[in-house]
Every structure is written in structure tokens, then in C-alpha cells.
Amino acid sequence: MEIDQLKKQLDSDGHLIDASIWTEAIAQQLAELDALNLTPEHFEILKLVQDLYAETHDTPPMRLLVKQIKIRLGEEKGNSRHLYRLFPEGPVRYASKYAGLPKPAHCM
């Protein structure tokens, strides 16, 4: 999707209005708008955030996300340092954004 088309698909916070159009390519474009290049490590977290959203119909707060990462992906990835290394501006907000999910209610 061209960047101008993509921008029309975003809400005022830069999140997709319609999550059903999400693809990895769109995630990469969203990240590039924020000067971030997504790696397989990022996509691992995005998939987990999508799974948690599908299970709970809500974006997870940081503590729950860290806990679930530790359970599902292992001890070495289940900590806030790892998440901030991947998403320096805010792991929950930006992982949700790139995963095609709404802005978390608990994020400013």
C-alpha cells in the first residue's frame, strides 16, 4: 500500500482504523513512519500482542505483557529492558500500533 493510502487508514493516533487490513508489510510501513525497522524479534512480539488482544479484547498493560512474554517466549525476552530495546518510545503503545490494534486505553 502506498504511504499516502496508508495514512488515510489511520486514526488520529496513527493506529489502523480497520485491523483486518493489517499485514506485515503494513506493520513495517507504520514503523518506518516512526523511523523504526522491524525485525523478526519485533514481529514475534507483535504476534504475541495480537494473540493477547484476541484472547482478552484489550491491549495488555506493560506488566501483563512482560509476564506473558516470559511465559510464551522465555525468560530472556520476558523483561522490560528487552521490550524497550525493541520499542524505545513505549513497548505497549508501539507494539499495539504496529500490530494493527487500537491505541491502548492505559497509554497517554
Please indicate, yes or no, if residue 108 is contained in any of the structural domains: no
Residue 83 designated active-site: no
Contact criterion met (CB below 8 Å) for 46 and 30: no
**Structural domains of the chain, count:** 1
* pLDDT of 38: 98
* pLDDT of 108: 56
CA distance 65 to 69: 6
Contact criterion met (CB below 8 Å) for 61 and 92: yes
Please indicate, yes or no, if residue 107 is contained in any of the structural domains: no
Lookup: cell for 88: 524505545
Please indicate, yes or no, if residue 93 is contained in any of the structural domains: yes
The catalytically annotated residue of 62, 64, 73, 107 is 107
Give me the domain span that covers residue 93. Answer: 3-98
Please indicate, yes or no, if residue 67 is contained in any of the structural domains: yes
Ranges of the chain whose pLDDT falls below 50: none
CA distance 47 to 44: 5
Give the predicted TM-score (pTM) of the model: 0.92
Closest CA to 103 of 58, 45, 43: 58
104: left (phi over 0), alpha (psi -120 to 50) or beta: beta
* pLDDT of 21: 95
Please indicate, yes or no, if residue 106 is contained in any of the structural domains: no
